[in-house]
Structure 1
Amino acid sequence: MSELIVLIFYCAILGSGVGFLAGLLGIGGGLVIVPVLSGILLHFAVVPAEQVVIAAIATSLASILFTSTSSAIAHHKNGNIPWNIAPWIMAGVAVGALISGFLAALLPENIVRLVFAISVVAIAIKMFSSSKSEPSTERKIPNKGILTIFTSLTGGLSAMIGIGGGALLVPLLTFFSVDMKKAIGCASACGIVIALFGSVGYITSGSAYYTLKDGFAGFVYLPALFGIVCTSWFTAPLGAKSTHYLPIPILKKIFAGLLVLMAANMITQ
């Protein structure tokens, strides 16, 4: 029991940092949760080494379900969710997230690690170069069917690596000249869908391995989920307020460097 309390305490510390960074930098908490939680689960021998990343990704997605809901409500109140296209985007990410939740459980552990690491490095590079000015080119958003296909791919990848989707959806939507605020608002709403359907996939596929008696809902480790959510829910607004006082472009570059280091660590574990 004492070890479980220590694990929850560690996850609460993780959640406080993740929530703050999510609010400050507008990134999905899964980029941090997955590598750090993998180390925590491995240290406490919660799951076998070959399933530790899957459990971390599933738990990360479940935690994003709570934080994305809070964020989406705020964006809806501010009129930042483009409901003319949002249903098609949400349908796409739902399909992609649900499929990937089952698929990831079937893939070898080293493949999942590699997919996560490559994705994180790509996001880090994008984050590092995001402050550079780019030529403004007006691009027409594709028809709703094509848009759904595009977003199913981003939703699937987001669920597979345990992130809410903003890091992938926002660049995609802004590429098609969607206003940045509306792209972020749409991504926050889609984060709920990705987390929900991705979690369903991980819970269903993991039910053959773990039960509630073990502290799991499928591959989602409930004590870790509780620890993360009980602090991230409160620190995310603090991070959002801090954007007015801290040098965000510099922080993004520092954070991008940390992401690369975490991705390298995931591969070498």
Structure 2
Amino acid sequence: MNFDVWWLAYPVLGAFVGFFAGLLGVGGGGIMVPSLATLFIAQGFGMDKVVHMALGTSMASIVITSFSSMRAHNAHGAVRWDVVKRITPAILIGTFGATFVASHVPSEPLAIFFACFMAYVSAQMMLNIKPKPTRDLPGPVGMSLVGFGIGAISALVAIGGGSLSVPFMTWCNIKMQNAIGTSAAIGLPIALSGTVGFIVNGWGAEGMPQYTAGFIYLPAFVLVTAFSIITVPTGARLAHKLPVATLKKIFAGVLVLLCLKMLHSVFG
């Protein structure tokens, strides 16, 4: 295996992602996708594939972090498994199906969609927007439509779905602790289905660099995941000592800057 000096950046990115995941309870997609896209461009990978690879590699990394998060929340009894069972089938279909859409969309529109969605997430964090509980969970058809939508958008921006599923569940009168725990459990099928989809759609694609499995760049996946696991506990410990509300606003600002950097790299 030929060593690439850019691989040294992946442990740093993984440590950064893991720290903020533990500190703020957020998935790493918002950080990983723009960072990976920028690094892939620096490595000289084909411009038409960099955003797809960033989405696929980020989604694969979320499999590990979402599993750890699900176990932790389940240990505290915070997961509403009845909700998970009702929404997961549609989430699997929506996530897997959206990877086929993503694979056929050029990098530029994908980058714009990602940046716009992250701007929405950043605004949520900065303004601390929380919908008021006004109703109960919808019936089977409603849950399926919501699950399909959460899965599809999650695949297009490579997130665990928390920025969509938590507001939805709190709106439906589920306690915040349960909404967060249930969202963590929902994140695992999203990540698994999305990973399989990005592998299937990227398999045999022309112009892919070495060490890829579909749209997943394996050196980045291994190094980011390994170092994110190490720093998650540190972030979780500091969450009880630092002003998290202020840190969320700073984190939101970082997301915006990373998205702007990605857009500049892709279009510049």
Please state which band the TM-score falls in when normalised by the shorter chain.
over 0.9
Is 1:240 paired with 2:236?
A: yes
Q: TM-score, normalised by structure 1?
A: 0.93
**1:49 counterpart SS class:** coil
Name the structure 1 match of 2:145. 149
Q: 2:112 maps to what in 1?
A: 114
Does the aligned pair in 2 maintain the 1:210–1:218 contact within 8 Å? Answer: no
Say whether 1:197 aligns with 2:193: yes
Structure 1 counterpart of 2:19: 20
Tell me by how many angstroms 1:40 deviates: 1.1
Q: SS of 1:50's equivalent? A: coil
CA distance in 2, matches of 1:44, 1:23: 29
Quickly say closer, same or farther: Cα 1:205–1:171, change in 2 above 3 A. Answer: same
Instruction: Give the whole-Å Cα distance in 1 for the aligned partners of 2:122 and 2:259.
Output: 10
Question: Is contact 1:7–1:224 with CA below 8 Å preserved after alignment?
Answer: no
Q: TM-score, normalised by structure 2?
A: 0.93
Cα pair 1:211 1:217 within 8 Å, conserved: no
| 8 Å contact kept, 2:131–2:171 | no
Partner residue, 1:265: 261
Letter in 1 for 2:120: A
> Over residues 169-213 of structure 1, what are the superposed CA-to-partner deviations in whole Å (9 max), with x where a residue is unaligned?
111111111111111111111111111101111100100216999
Shift, 1:264, TM fit: 2.2
Work out the CA distance in 2 between the residues paired with 1:211 and 1:256: 34
Distance 1:53 1:135, change over 3 A: closer
Q: After alignment, is 218-227 or 173-182 more displaced?
A: 173-182
Name which of structure 1's ranges 82-91 and 214-223 shifts more when overlaid on structure 2: 82-91
Change (3 A) 1:103 1:243: same
Q: Which runs of 5+ in 2 are unaligned?
A: none
Judge conservation of contact 1:210–1:219 (CA < 8 Å) in 2: no
> Is the 2:98–2:156 contact (alpha carbons within 8 Å) kept by the matching residues of 1?
yes
Equivalent position of 2:66 in the other structure? 68
Q: CA RMSD in A?
A: 1.9
Deviation, 1:237, is 1.7
Tell me which amino acid in the other structure corresponds to 1:206: G
1:84 aligns with 2:82: yes
1:65-100: CA deviation from partner (whole Å, max 9, x where unpaired): 001111101111211110111112222221111011
What whole-Å deviation, never above 9, does each CA across 1:205-236 have from its counterpart, x for those lacking one?
10021699921110000011011011111211
User: How do residues 52-63 of structure 1 correspond to structure 2 at under 5 angstroms?
Assistant: 52-63=50-61
- Structure 1 vs Structure 2: percent identity of aligned residues? 36
What residue is the counterpart of 1:165 in the other structure? 161
Q: Would the aligned equivalents of 1:20 and 1:235 in 2 still touch at CA under 8 Å?
A: yes
What is the CA–CA distance in structure 1 between the aligned matches of 2:111 and 2:131, rounded to whole Å? Answer: 35
Closer/same/farther in 2, CA of residues 22 and 55 from structure 1, 3 Å limit: same
The answer to whether the aligner puts 1:249 opposite 2:248 as a matched pair is no
